[in-house]
Structure 1
């Protein structure tokens, strides 16, 4: 899952102080440089940990869970960075503010769509439990009535997973809108602003990448995937490029094979369901009793893995939604405070943004 490189990147144990996208003549104090390097080093390490060890990890619920956990940690890091920078919201450029607020709304919409899809897939667990109940592995051989019930539930479940969630259809355009704001104007006359903009670039790249993979996995389409180019000047560029190449490359290969169900755990249950449908349709005799019992046991294990994976991922997506929401609320609260203070000092010429 690795790819060759043209050369070796120089190693800096505490980050590379020369890898800065800043205008000539710009200066960062040792404190600001340390804060920025720490943020970028942490981001690079997270991206390296997300790199799949083998092809089977790509587009699995377990990998998606790790990806959203990583994203939560990076979003938490940006809050810590802003606090340590002691960079008040009142000093933010209006362009940064407008883009941030716009993107935060879009990100919340995407989280809602993801939660909706996970909820929809979780509904299918009821049908899977009905199948397992009808085909109890402890029974030597199910009755014809039980087989009919199981076959009906199998058809309902397969119809559910083959359908598409309309909320996901809008997400692709929303995500491309966020990608369109990836490259912001450079911060002027503010060393802290330059550090913040560089860190914000990193968090947006990771957010776009992770969300695009989520959408591809949920929608069964390659369209959401984006190949983002990160300049070499960023300390985490190589780690991101490697990760993106592996995950997007493997995902596109799966789609090229005509796979509709891409999520690994979901695909495992679907394959078992199709085989079970064939077995029931073709008729089962008493001679196949042992084979059927073993098959039902395997089906139950796959169903359990799917159920656990969906539950864990749902919790992580909810956590990411809360992080995004609280971050936006905190910013708006600070803006109102800034606006109120300004109004008190300047009368009707106060900062309008306080009304947000």
Structure 2
């Protein structure tokens, strides 16, 4: 009998391949069984890689460090911008001294104009320094040491990860000390740069740390002194800057009202005093701050960059280009 033409074609028009691999009534050969097992193990391994996993302890330490370092870099940038403002003020004072080197009345007018510009410049606020409080608040919120989970599932892996967990605890305890010192120091400078006592932070360090008493004592001493200065009506707590401001206030009326021949010597002494204090502001404060902030910035940036490059090579982060582009990102 002929085969009906209306019947559908078989799914495998070339025949059933599984019958070719495993004929009816026969068992898989060892070679085929090994091939099948290898395939299934490979497939299982690749599927497991696609399944997202919770972050383990090491990644938490890495994330914490990276977050802290980014905040510190932002603070460094804010302080650098304020140092640049001080340098701009220094240029105005140099113009004042240059114009006062002449007895021409027109030069006195220029000197007075430069003094007006300096006084206005120094009393203005830097929004980047104002934002430091927000950044420091984030660092303060991160001061609590992360707690290690003790669930039944975590306990099964405890012995295997005991060594890494111990390293993580040591690292975080050391980072805690660095963060406390950094927050305290940065808050002092943020307060001094901004002219507000509210920028200060009072961090209560637990007595379990060997350095707690020394830290708490230093905070109490420095913060109390700064608050007392502000409460007395002063808005400048940087002594080099205050010295210049005092000289400017003394010299300004002499330029505005004109110099009496009898007061020429006092006038010249005021100019010399201003020149000396301007140099002290530049070399004693601005240059030193520039050097230290730049050094701290590069220290943080180097550690941040090195960590990102290492974790990208080890496959801890999903973006292998992240570490190598940290300078560009910052």
Instruction: Tell me the TM-score normalised to structure 2 length.
Output: 0.73
1:353, distance to aligned residue in structure 2 (A): 4.9
Q: Secondary structure at the match of 2:199?
A: coil
Q: 1:228 matched to which residue of 2?
A: 203
In the aligned structure 2, how far is the partner of 1:312 from the partner of 1:207?
18
Residue in structure 1 matched with residue 262 of structure 2 by the alignment: 287
Q: Which has the larger radius of gyration?
A: 2
Match of 2:242 in 1: 267
Query: Equivalent residue for 1:335?
Result: 311
Identify the residue that residue 118 of structure 1 maps to in structure 2: 83
Q: Which residue is equivalent to 1:24? A: none
Partner of 1:31 in structure 2?
Answer: none
Q: Residue 291 of structure 2: which of 315, 320, 325 is its match?
A: 315
For residues 172 and 117 of structure 2, the distance between their equivalents in structure 1, rounded to whole angstroms, comes to 49
Is 1:96 matched with 2:61? yes
Calculate the aligned-residue CA RMSD, in Å.
1.8
| Deviation for aligned residue 1:92 | 5.1
Please, which runs of 5 or more residues in structure 1 have no aligned partner?
A: 1-89, 340-350
Q: Which has the higher contact order (CA 8 A, sep 6+)?
A: 1
* Alignment-derived partner of residue 180 in structure 1: 141
Cα distance between partner residues in 2 of 1:305 and 1:91 = 52
The residue number in structure 2 matching 1:23 is: none
Q: CA deviation at 1:352?
A: 4.4
1:258 deviates by 2.0
Change (3 A) 1:352 1:152: closer
In structure 2, the residue corresponding to 1:310 is in which secondary structure?
helix
Shift of 1:143: 2.7
Shift of 1:100: 1.6
- In the alignment of these two chains, the number of paired residues is 252
Give the 3-state SS of the residue equivalent to 1:223 in structure 2.
helix
Quick one: structure 1 residues 187 and 331, their matched pair in 2 at CA, closer, same or farther if it must change by over 3 Å? farther
Partner of 2:172: 197
Question: Is contact 2:250-2:270 (8 Å) kept?
Answer: no
Give a deviation string over 1:2-34, Cα, whole Å, max 9, x none.
xxxxxxxxxxxxxxxxxxxxxxxxxxxxxxxxx
Gaps of 5+ in 2: 1-54, 150-161, 323-330
SS of the aligned residue for 1:134 comes to helix
For residue 122 of structure 2, the aligned residue among 146, 161, 176 is: 161
Q: Runs of 4 or more off by more than 6 Å in structure 1?
A: none
SS of the counterpart of 1:127?
Answer: helix
CA distance in 1, matches of 2:146, 2:77: 30
